[in-house]
Amino acid sequence: MPQTLRVGLIGYGYAGKTFHAPLIAATPGLDFVAVASSRPADVIADWPDVAVKTDPAALITRPDLDVVVIATPNDTHAPLARAALAAGKHVVVDKPFTVTVAEAEELVAAAQSAGRVLSVFQNRRWDADFLALKALIASGRLGRITEFTSRFDRYRPQVRQRWREGAGPGAGLWYDLGPHVIDQALDLFGMPQAVSAELAIRRDGGLSVDDALVVLHYPDKRAVLGASMLVSGGTPRFLVHGTAASFIKHGLDGQEDQLKAGFDPRHADWGIDANAATLFSHDGDTPRNEPVTLPRGAYQDYYAGVRDAVLGIAANPVPATEAVRSMRVIEAAVRAAKTGKREKL
């Protein structure tokens, strides 16, 4: 590696602790050196050799940092990213990037003006099942895709006291899990022509959207995206129909659970998804089905891509311009849910 990049992380809540810190630390060529957090004791307990500050500005202005990673509440992403770019840093922002399209476009312009890499953490492009599905579509084995259903469900009937489930800007399931299913759909099919949506609060005492059903309308297909906090027992993670075959996959990729358990990408069992994935087709009138072997999931490839983009030897793994597209879909769905009509894009 020609150069080691020094990385600072702002935010040590669930995303910072579970995803960013261990993935940064496990990436060759990245040196995890600093954290800004309102809970410094938690950081010190996990990373005793990392410098800790409570003020994000003290981290952003460190002259020895090359990359700043922002894993804070959604409504703080834009101002923190703006400050980091102004300080000359390359920047990684956790999804959903910002809470408005206007903020997203402003940050893209700021990064271009500063000549810095601005990337958005869309780790689920490296889920084992999504990698397998993307390869199947590219191979032509499914034929022309006619319907794509992607769900990200949980069973959490009790409302938790945390910002993600509060009533503030960028809170709720559509801004939390919606960016994952949106980004995967756009990565496969590009921007739709229109969006229709139902966004609802189903749980007793709920303060923000906890149930989402959104349809992306394309000329030759539809993509049905769903997320709910009240699904017990699970639904198919992916259900994809084409003119030649169908693909079904149950269960979520396990890398998040592995990170929560203390694994890192160098573990021998890293990225293995044991959930069933099946390809259904016909031989004449005879139905056929065959198991689909999933590759290993590879969240570590995101930060390796960021490293290489900063060093100028590879493309940005998730350019902020692609996150702007996702923000357009997020906002269009919010408008469609209010009007009950399709929102054109």
pLDDT at position 284 is 86
Answer for the pair 75, 170: CB distance below 8 angstroms, yes or no: yes
- Mean pLDDT of all residues in 35-50: 97
Residue located via tokens 């999504």: 130
Same domain, 288 and 166: yes
Strands 211-217 and 145-153: unpaired
Handedness of CA 102, 122, 19, 205 (dihedral sign): positive
Closest CA relative to residue 39, chosen from 17, 8, 70: 17
The confidence band for 180, taking pLDDT boundaries of 50, 70 and 90, is very high
pLDDT in tens, 274-306: 999 999 999 888 899 999 999 999 999 999 999
Answer for the pair 78, 85: CB distance below 8 angstroms, yes or no: no
pLDDT at position 1 is 43
Closest CA relative to residue 213, chosen from 201, 229, 197: 197
- Mean pLDDT of all residues in 5-32: 98
User: Would you say residue 3 has pLDDT above 90?
Assistant: no
Is 306 domain-assigned?
A: no
Is 320 domain-assigned?
A: no
Same domain, 97 and 129: no
Domain C-terminal end among 121, 149, 164: 121
Mean pLDDT of the residues in the chain = 96
Structure tokens at 296: 């290993």
Domain C-terminal end among 121, 156, 188: 121
Is 313 domain-assigned?
A: no
Handedness of CA 15, 21, 24, 27 (dihedral sign): negative
Answer for the pair 146, 241: CB distance below 8 angstroms, yes or no: yes
Same domain, 222 and 334: yes
Total tally of structural domains belonging to the chain: 2
pLDDT at position 338 is 97
- CA dist 233 and 33 (Å) reads 41
pLDDT at position 90 is 98
User: Would you say residue 40 has pLDDT above 70?
Assistant: yes
Same domain, 214 and 154: yes
pLDDT at position 234 is 80
pLDDT at position 2 is 53
Residue located via tokens 């809470």: 99
Residue spans of beta strands (DSSP E) within the chain: 5-10, 30-36, 51-53, 67-70, 90-94, 118-121, 145-153, 194-200, 211-217, 222-228, 236-242, 246-250, 277-283, 286-291, 343-344
- Mean pLDDT of all residues in 123-131: 98
Same domain, 154 and 291: yes
Same domain, 37 and 162: no
Structure tokens at 166: 């509060």
CATH code assigned at 337:
3.30.360.10
CATH code assigned at 71:
3.40.50.720
Same domain, 70 and 128: no
Strands 246-250 and 286-291: unpaired
156: containing domain: 124-297+329-344
Closest CA relative to residue 73, chosen from 164, 9, 160: 164
Answer for the pair 224, 241: CB distance below 8 angstroms, yes or no: no
pLDDT in tens, 78-122: 999 999 999 999 999 999 999 999 999 999 999 999 999 999 999
pLDDT in tens, 134-166: 999 999 999 999 999 999 999 999 999 888 999
Closest CA relative to residue 250, chosen from 154, 338, 129, 84: 129
Answer for the pair 100, 327: CB distance below 8 angstroms, yes or no: yes
pLDDT in tens, 184-214: 999 999 999 999 999 999 999 999 999 999 9
- CA dist 15 and 164 (Å) reads 11
Is 106 domain-assigned?
A: yes
pLDDT in tens, 45-70: 999 999 999 999 999 999 999 999 99
Answer for the pair 198, 174: CB distance below 8 angstroms, yes or no: no
Same domain, 223 and 80: no
Same domain, 32 and 117: yes
